[in-house]
Chains A and B, each alone.
Chain A
Amino acid sequence: MNDRVLVVIPVWNEASNLHGVVMELRGARPDDDLLVVDDGSTDGSGEMARRLGCRVVTLPFRLGYGAAVQAGVKYGLRREYEVTVTFDGDGQHDPADVAPLLEAVREGVDVALGSRFLAPEAYHGGLLRQGGRRLFSLLLRLLTGLRLTDPTSGLKALGPRGQALFALARFPDRFPDADALVLARRARLVVAERPARMRRSQNRHSMHGGGRAVAYTFNMFLSLLVAAAGRESDLRG
């Protein structure tokens, strides 16, 4: 139980939620280091994280969710954390769900995902999102044989090999979701899910909202095929 754990919280203008998220994580997981990756916020999220005593990596401009997570993973790799957890800054994840993911990593899982569909009475998102997620689950199963219920989950725990994968230069850095898992399987990593309760996000600019959903679906679809059909060299350096 003495693994060093880094919790990476990518934020873009989450000043209204960050305080609550950090306090809750501190309460539930006092021994873990918290790293806020400030993805070019303009509302002082980074400053707030610093005042709250978090480690902070400030990206010079907005790179997007995937690249922000990746920056956090790189930070963890350089400081040799055994496990890196990715945790959304908008308050939709529950710190209590981190422990089962860490347990999974300890059991040899490289990429452990928190799935809202394995959890009882959870917020499952709107009909459209659910449909989209089903579609990706199905595609993912066809491409990799992985049976995952929630492949777009932002709550993840990464073991050393998982971290190395996420730090690759050619890692899908827009939205590392289902396509990242395809890569993980191609790199022969072990991927598994654990139940996680998701709350309704407080902040409506959270990643997949609104009219961008269609673009997201299309991009994800392409990205999945690219990940599946990519070259072996994608998995190195």
Chain B
Amino acid sequence: MPIRQKIFFLTIAVVLLLVILELVRRRRLRVEYSWLWLASALTIVLLILRYDLLIWITGLVGAVIPTSTLFFFSILYLALLSLNYSVRLSDLTRQVKELAQEVALLRSDKDER
């Protein structure tokens, strides 16, 4: 990996890390979600510093060029991430429904009294 590329991608990864930490510090991002993003950013840093790791994984899964390994796992990662969001959304939907019903029932209690 040419040094120019390394510097460029490292900069991006570091900025990403700082943004995540700042979001957590300002309580905009809940701590329990932050580890995932921190892990993502650190993975990027790791792959920049140890490009041979990517080549090793490429051989392991039987891919031809490292780029396809990178893209494959990125897409897989994003798909899993949105699956995770769907699950959380389903939970939230149920919670919102229960809350809305509770609010409506409490209000009718109050009105009837």
Contacts and interface: CB of A to CB of B under 8 A. Distances in A.
Interface of A: 37, 55-61, 63, 67, 70-71, 74-75, 78, 169-170, 173
Contacts, number: 39
B106 to A, nearest CB: 10
A58 B107 contact: yes
Given A55-B108, A75-B108, A169 B103 contact: no
Interface stretch (B16-24, B52-60, B94-102): B94-102
Given A56-B108, A60-B103, 18 more contacts: A57-B104, A58-B107, A58-B108, A59-B104, A60-B104, A61-B100, A63-B97, A70-B101, A71-B101, A71-B104, A71-B105, A74-B101, A74-B105, A169-B94, A169-B98, A170-B94, A173-B94, A173-B97
Give the interface residue-count category, chain B.
Answer: 10 to 19
10 contacts: A55-B108, A57-B104, A59-B101, A59-B104, A63-B100, A67-B100, A70-B101, A71-B105, A75-B105, A173-B94
Interface of B: 94, 97-98, 100-101, 103-105, 107-108, 111-112
Contact of B105 (A63, A67, A78, A170): A78
Most buried by B among A59, A61, A169: A59
Nearest to A50: B111
